[in-house]
């Protein structure tokens, strides 16, 4: 009898041990399955409507603007947004138009300079063929440093504009960036109480193509700008004074002493608004009767999307880029604008 009891007890213990072993084997498998399901699900985007809340935001009132400025609501909206963003350290504002023109044709590619290195490892110029078709893009941003510096409607900004000319279709010479112009600026702007001039700005401007040696082009200017607002657009006039540089003594000195002969001493621009379409006309001239040089630039924008505009561009004259400041060019291009003057 005792022998049967002992055998029965051994069988029960064996069954319990086997059951525990099976559970220990099964449980890790279950944990592995759960562990795999959670991370994969968490990588998927959240669904549903984002929660929102109402907050109070103080914006410039209509009374902050001159009566003439109130005639152009687009300009008022731009100033309001920029003033509101002035205290936000995470915001970079558009300065000049930001655009991409993937297809442009220009008249005089000629034989331009390419960078090479001679036997003494000095950067020198070498001839290279460029094509008529190329792409252009412009990136232009500004950052408000201070508001209310001199008067309630005044502001100090730093800005940077990058304009690049890319031989994107020129496979024979490895699709180079033919020219890139850099333009950092320090700008002080204020609203006037004058009847005819609505705003004035003074700018310290550096304009360079970032090259060295024979390819270097640069100049520094102090620019005075005055603008008048109309119900259908904006007229602004710029006058500049070039900061003198010493004569060229390699590698230092003035790379382009005659640049004002081709770029002139100022420009006139009118931005015309008609519904959702915009036409801008820019004129420059050296005002010399005997050897007249100048340029005209026309841009036309039309809506494509809420934030994107189609852009058609035409240029005729001198100074389209620094490397070509003394070469006459015509260009027509098409692309998109991500931001505009207004």
Phi, psi of 23 (to 5 degrees): -65, -40
Query: Rounded distance, CA 167 to CA 132, Å?
Result: 9
Of the residues 113, 208, 261, 339, which is catalytic? 208
Of the residues 113, 164, 182, 206, which is catalytic? 206
Residue 257 has pLDDT above 70, yes or no: yes
Cα distances from 25 to residues 14, 28, 31, 139, 263, in angstroms, run 17, 6, 11, 61, 83
User: Tens of pLDDT along 133-184?
Assistant: 999 999 999 999 999 988 889 999 999 999 999 999 999 889 999 999 999 9
User: Tens of pLDDT along 71-101?
Assistant: 999 999 999 999 988 888 899 999 999 999 9
Pairwise pLDDT comparison (213 vs 126), residue with the higher score: 213
Look at residues 141, 133, 139 and name the one whose alpha carbon lies nearest to residue 178: 133
Query: Rounded distance, CA 127 to CA 256, Å?
Result: 20
Task: Retrieve residue 235's tokens.
Answer: 């007229």
Beta-carbon contacts of 266 under 8 Å, excluding residues fewer than 6 positions away, are 237, 238, 239, 240, 284
User: Tens of pLDDT along 316-336?
Assistant: 999 999 999 999 999 999 999
pLDDT at position 247: 85
pLDDT at position 87: 85
b/e per residue 118-137 (b: at least 16 CB within 10 A): eeeeeeeeeebebbebbbbb
201 is catalytic: no
Beta-carbon contacts of 230 under 8 Å, excluding residues fewer than 6 positions away, are 71, 72
Query: Rounded distance, CA 185 to CA 206, Å?
Result: 7
206 is catalytic: yes
pTM of the model: 0.83
Phi and psi based region of residue 121 (left: phi greater than 0; alpha: psi -120 to 50; beta: remaining): left
Q: Where do runs of H (alpha helix) occur along the chain?
A: 2-42, 73-85, 259-263
pLDDT at position 115: 55
Residue 25 has pLDDT above 80, yes or no: no
Look at residues 262, 271, 289 and name the one whose alpha carbon lies nearest to residue 340: 271
| Most confident option among 36-50, 58-72, 241-255 | 58-72
């Amino acid at each position: 009898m005792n022998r049967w009891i002992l055998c029965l007890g051994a069988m029960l213990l064996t069954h319990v041990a086997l059951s525990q072993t099976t559970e220990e084997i099964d449980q890790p498998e279950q944990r592995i399955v759960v562990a795999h399901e959670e991370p994969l699900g968490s990588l998927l985007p959240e669904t549903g409507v984002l929660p929102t809340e109402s907050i109070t935001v103080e914006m410039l009132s209509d009374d902050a603007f001159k009566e003439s400025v109130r005639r152009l609501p687009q300009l008022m909206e731009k100033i309001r947004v920029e003033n509101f963003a002035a205290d936000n350290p995470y915001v970079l504002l558009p300065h000049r138009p930001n655009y991409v023109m993937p297809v442009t044709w220009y008249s005089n590619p000629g034989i331009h300079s390419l960078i090479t290195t001679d036997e003494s490892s000095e950067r020198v110029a070498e001839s290279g063929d460029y094509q008529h078709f190329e792409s252009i893009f412009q990136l232009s941003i500004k950052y408000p440093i201070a508001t209310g510096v001199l008067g309630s409607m005044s502001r100090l900004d730093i800005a940077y504009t990058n304009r690049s000319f890319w031989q994107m279709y020129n496979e024979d010479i490895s699709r180079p960036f033919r020219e890139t112009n850099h333009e950092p600026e320090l700008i002080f702007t204020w609203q006037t109480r004058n009847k005819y001039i609505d705003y004035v700005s003074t700018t310290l401007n550096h304009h360079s193509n970032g090259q060295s040696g024979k390819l270097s082009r640069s100049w520094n200017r102090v620019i005075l700008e005055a603008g008048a607002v109309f119900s259908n657009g904006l007229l602004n006039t710029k006058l500049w004074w070039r900061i003198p540089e010493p004569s060229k003594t390699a590698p230092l000195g003035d790379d382009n002493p005659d640049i004002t002969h081709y770029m002139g001493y100022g420009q006139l621009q009118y931005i015309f608004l008609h519904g959702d379409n915009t036409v801008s006309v820019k004129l420059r001239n050296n005002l010399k009767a005997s050897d007249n040089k100048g340029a005209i630039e026309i841009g036309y924008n039309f809506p494509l999307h809420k934030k994107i505009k189609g852009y058609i561009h035409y240029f005729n004259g001198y100074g389209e880029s620094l490397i070509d400041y003394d070469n006459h060019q015509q260009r027509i291009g098409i692309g998109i604008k991500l931001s505009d003057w207004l």
